[in-house]
Structure 1
Amino acid sequence: MSRHVLLVRLAAPLQSWGVASRFSYRDSHARPTKSAIIGLCAAALGRERTAPLGDLAALVFGVRADHPGTPVRDYHTVGAGRFPLRPRDVITDHRRAAAIATSLEAAEGPGFGHHELAGWYGAPKKITADSVSGTLVSAELSRSAMITERWYLSDAAFVVGLEHQNRVLLEEISYALEHPKRLLWLGRKSCPPSGTLAAEILPGTIATVFAAKRLLPGPDGPDASGRRPLAWIQAPSGTRGALQVNDQPVSFDPAHRAHVTRWETRTRITIAPTATGWDIIP
């Protein structure tokens, strides 16, 4: 049975494709992962996290880095130090007020609401006056600052290929990407995609389609300047020269989230001189 490839354009001011992120350090892979793109498709289709991934996970995945982008670090520090207090901060501790209101509701009944305590119960601890201005400031100098790093790719553009023999499935995904049932982002919620995502569905394999299509429809395509963009294409297990990557999704269920290993080849794509431009599906 013939194979078909859905092309997906991923471009935005910022993208972030986490691989081994933790709270204090959020990394970004140099390219989109299969797990992230399958998650993007599942969100567009409106599927729950607990839904089976069999049909989507069976898609053959490839990505071409037409514009790899520039790594950007977003450095955060939270807490510690001194900062000015607003007048209401001096007399209000909302967390303590809410806790007291909840306990009194349990004892007195629902007629005693949180609003009756808001704005007057409890002052925060460790307040002092600034030695120069006399302004009241926080004095929690003993508390350590929380430091976090988030990495992004700036001004990157990728072409993803999703290959399958079932053209109907690819058509459903293509439509959903342009009419998503859930919000879509490129790795993180702070990275919405720019422009159209879904393009053509073409007969062939990812490798042949990547060589036949430019990202942009004019002379500024990647082949015009002689560049040969890198591509990573999923391959059968044990393929000679292929490497293992652990981003084949099994389940997105928060209680049973799991990934397994797949194989992929890394190659440079020679875009044919006769390659056509980027045709968007209306």
Structure 2
Amino acid sequence: MASPYLVFSLSASLGAMGELAGHERRGSLLWPGRSALIGLMGAALGIRRDGDFSGLDSLKIDVAVFDSGAPLRDFHTIQSVPSAVVKKPNSRPEAIRAAGGRLTTSITLRDYRAGVFYGVAVQGDGLEEIAAALQKPYFTLYLGRKSCPLSSPLNPQIIQADTVDEALGRVKVPIWLSKHVGLSKEVMIVGEQGSHRDLVNDVPLDRQRWHFASREVRIRHAHLLRKELT
């Protein structure tokens, strides 16, 4: 029996899909995690980071990895105030003054994926509202960090499909990618079905403190029947 799906595409010249983030390194998954996609839909709806995401947390999300891009690593030099010197300052200038110029300099690593393209299928309540918001987002949308703007519209659609594979096969592909995303290409799908299991940290526990829980995802490969190429 057919079910309603919201499907949309995500393409970017540069994307950062989140991973375990320490002080010195911030990695990137091969695909956008659940927290990233909920955050993107929330931003489109106008929900601020400290807002109420409860209406989105129950959504079921599957991702088709049409192109995971190429890895790219960026290096940042940062200066910070030793926590042993200044505890709980009201501002950075105050911390620097209290530290008497004693700063710690370190190099951080940030990972990206260059030239990515994904298809997303969403099930749950409020799909029409989310689709309208993705068409005309309240906040500017990024694929991860603010240095990663989208390279094409998301082309959201509400469709009826019997399976997730059928729904993902209806994702609209940007014209410049239509030859690259071929009809016979095998696609990696990340969701709740599949024989390969993996653990990712993409379930938000505390959005203010950027704390995330682990969840098990299923990964499989399938040939999608692409019914529309635009």
Whether TM-score is above 0.5 comes out as yes
Using the TM superposition, give the Cα deviation of residue 176 of structure 1 relative to its aligned residue in structure 2, in angstroms. Answer: 1.0
Among candidates 170, 182, 186, match of residue 127 of structure 2? 170
Larger relative strand fraction: 2
**Separation in 2 of the partners of 1:219 and 1:76?**
36
Aligned match of 1:231: 189
**Separation in 2 of the partners of 1:157 and 1:11?**
4
Structure 2: 5+ residue stretches without partners: 80-92
TM-score, structure 2 as length reference: 0.77
Using the TM superposition, give the Cα deviation of residue 241 of structure 1 relative to its aligned residue in structure 2, in angstroms. Answer: 5.6
Contact 2:134 2:156 in 1 (8 A): no
Structure 1: 5+ residue stretches without partners: 80-94, 100-124, 126-139
Aligned match of 1:268: 221
Aligned match of 2:14: 14
Contact 2:203 2:215 in 1 (8 A): yes
Contact 1:210 1:269 in 2 (8 A): no
Deviations 1:64-104 (A, max 9, x none): 1111100001123457xxxxxxxxxxxxxxx79xx8xxxxx
**Separation in 2 of the partners of 1:38 and 1:240?**
25
Distance 1:212 1:45, change over 3 A: closer
Q: Which amino acid aligns with 1:161?
A: A
TM-score, structure 1 as length reference: 0.64
1:234-253 to 2 correspondences below 5 Å: 234=192, 242-252=197-207
Using the TM superposition, give the Cα deviation of residue 243 of structure 1 relative to its aligned residue in structure 2, in angstroms. Answer: 4.4
**Separation in 2 of the partners of 1:190 and 1:179?**
20
Aligned match of 1:220: 179
Corresponding residue pairs, total: 212
Identity percentage of aligned residues: 27
Secondary structure of the residue aligned to 1:229 is strand
**Separation in 1 of the partners of 2:228 and 2:36?**
28
Q: Which amino acid aligns with 2:189?
A: A
Secondary structure of the residue aligned to 2:110 is strand
Q: Which has the larger radius of gyration?
A: 1
Among candidates 115, 122, 146, match of residue 106 of structure 2? 146
**Separation in 1 of the partners of 2:213 and 2:112?**
25
Q: Does 1:187 align with 2:144?
A: yes
Contact 2:8 2:171 in 1 (8 A): no
Distance 1:53 1:23, change over 3 A: same
Distance 1:148 1:227, change over 3 A: same
1:196-211 to 2 correspondences below 5 Å: 196-204=153-161, 205-211=163-169
1:81-92 to 2 correspondences below 5 Å: none
**Separation in 1 of the partners of 2:171 and 2:133?**
22
Aligned match of 2:84: none
Q: Which amino acid aligns with 2:204?
A: P
Deviation beyond 6 Å, 4+ runs, structure 1 = none
Using the TM superposition, give the Cα deviation of residue 54 of structure 1 relative to its aligned residue in structure 2, in angstroms. Answer: 2.8
Contact 2:72 2:114 in 1 (8 A): yes
Distance 1:206 1:44, change over 3 A: same
**Separation in 1 of the partners of 2:172 and 2:49?**
34
Using the TM superposition, give the Cα deviation of residue 242 of structure 1 relative to its aligned residue in structure 2, in angstroms. Answer: 4.7
**Separation in 1 of the partners of 2:192 and 2:128?**
21
